[in-house]
Amino acid sequence: MLTKVKKLFGTDGVRGVANTDPLTAEMALKLGRAIAHVFKRDERRHRIVIGKDTRLSGYMLESAMVAGICSMGVDAVLIGPLPTPGVSYITRSLRADAGVMLSASHNTYEDNGIKFFSNEGHKLPDKLEEEMERIIFSGELDHIRPTATNIGKATRIEDAIGRYVEFVKNSFPKGMTLDGMKIVLDCANGAAYKVGPWVLRELGAEVIVYNDTPNGTNINSNCGALHPEIIRKGVIDHKADVGIALDGDGDRVIFADEEARVVDGDFILAICGIDMLKEGLLTNNAIVGTVMSNFGLEKVIKDAGGEFYRSQVGDRYVIEEMINQDACLGGEQSGHIIFRDYTTTGDGLISALQLLKIMRAHGKPLSKLCKVMEKMPQVLINVRVKEKKPLSEVPAVKEAIVQAEKKLGSKGRILVRYSGTEPIARVMVEGSDQDEIDQVAMSVSDLLKKELGM
C-alpha cells in the first residue's frame, strides 16, 4: 500500500520529537499563523481554541502557538489539559473558528504533535493541510503584521473540564446509572487523568484509578491503551466488572472483560453495532471500519443485515467515510471509536459509556457480549524503518507482497503500510490458518528490516 508522505502532516496532524524539526517552537509559531490565516474569513474578531495533554513540551508549543495566532490578529482561547475530543467539543461549544490540540496521542513524552479542528469539530481534510503547508513554505504570510489593537489576545477558560464532563455524561441514558459497578480505569497519565474518574464516579461507579498522576514525562509510560496488562491485572486484583484503558490524549479506549481478556476496537464496534442494528439506531444500517479491521467484524455486521465500509487508517478518514455513507458508527481496531450521534471525533470516554450502557441494559458481563463476534486469525508486526520510501520503489518488498497475496489467495489478505505518526512500517496478515499467516508476516517483515530497517 502506497502512502503519500507530506512535508509536515501525517495521518493525525504534525508529529515528531519535541524541539526537533518539525516539532520546534519556530514551526509551531508558523503553524499558528497559518491556521489563523486559513480560518480568518472576514473582518470580525476570530478565536481559536488551544488544548493540550500532559507532556512537558506542551508549555513550549502552547506559547509558540499562541504567539503565532495572536500575531495574525486572532484571539487564542487556552483550555489547558483536556482530551482531544474535549478540544473538538469546546471549539464547537464556544462557536470558535478553529481548534488546536497539542498531543502525540499514544507516543511517549519525548514526542509531541499538533492537531487541528475546524469550527465544526472535524479534523482538517488533506487539502486544507496541504494549503497550510504551501502557505508556510512559500512565506506569503511574512508581510501580514497587524499592529496596535488589531493584534490578537490570549484568554483562559477555567471551566472547560466541567463543560466537557457534562457533555460526555449526556451521551449516557437519562435515568441509568453505574451504581454497583466496579471499574478499573487506566488514565495513561494523560489528558483524561481528571475527567475520566470524574465522569465514571458521577454516574455512580466505584472506580479504581491507575496512572492519574502526570508529571510531564510519564504519559503513556508502560501504561494506557497500548499496555492493557495494567487493567487486566487490575480487574483480577480488585475483582472488577470491567477494565478501561485510555491513551494519552483520551481519544481511544481498550477494555478488559471481567475475566481479564482484552477487548479491542473491533469488538467494541461489533457489540455496539449489533445492538444499534437491533434497536433501529444504526443510520443506513452502516458501520465504517478501516483496512485494518478484522474480517470477523465485517462478517458479523453483514450477517446481521448491516453494511460494512472500510476507510484508510486514521480516525479522520473514518469520519470522512462515515459522512460519505451517512453512518453514525465507525472506528478502528486500535480503539478510536466515533459515535457520530454524540461527537465528531474519536472519544474514549463516550465510547466507554456506550459499551457500559449495553452491559447495563442487558445485564450481561462483557465476556458474554464479546461472543457476538469470532475474530479471524490476524497478525500484526511493526518494523522500525530509517525512511518511509514508497514500497513500489523497493523491488524486493514489492515482490514479496505479490507472492504473499498469491499464497494467501481468497482465504486471506496482506496489508503493508507506513504509520502516519511514527517511523514504522506495519505488516498485517489475516487468514484462516494461523501458522500460514505467521509465516507470511514474518517473511515480509524480515525483508522490510533488511531493506529499510534502522
Residue with cell 450481561: 364
Residues pairing with 380 in the sheet: 428
Burial class (CB in 10 A: 0-12, 13-18, 19+), 308: buried
Q: If you ran DSSP here, which 8-state letter would residue 99 be given?
A: E
Question: How remote is the C-alpha of 160 from its chain's centroid?
Answer: 20
322 and 315 in contact (C-beta within 8 Å)?
no
Q: Is 219 helix (H, G, I), strand (E, B) or coil?
A: coil
Name all contacts of 397-406 with Cβ < 8 Å and 24+ positions apart.
Answer: 397/444, 397/447, 397/448, 397/451, 397/452, 400/443, 400/444, 400/447, 401/444, 404/429, 404/440, 404/443, 404/444
Told to judge if 103 belongs to the known catalytic residues of this protein, a careful annotator would answer: no
Dig out the grid coordinates for 231 from the structure.
Answer: 487493567
Catalytic residue among 71, 105, 334, 445: 105
Q: Give start and end residues of each alpha helix (H) in 329-416.
A: 348-362, 366-369, 395-408
Contacts of 127 (CB under 8 A, 6+ apart): none
The residues that are catalytic are 105
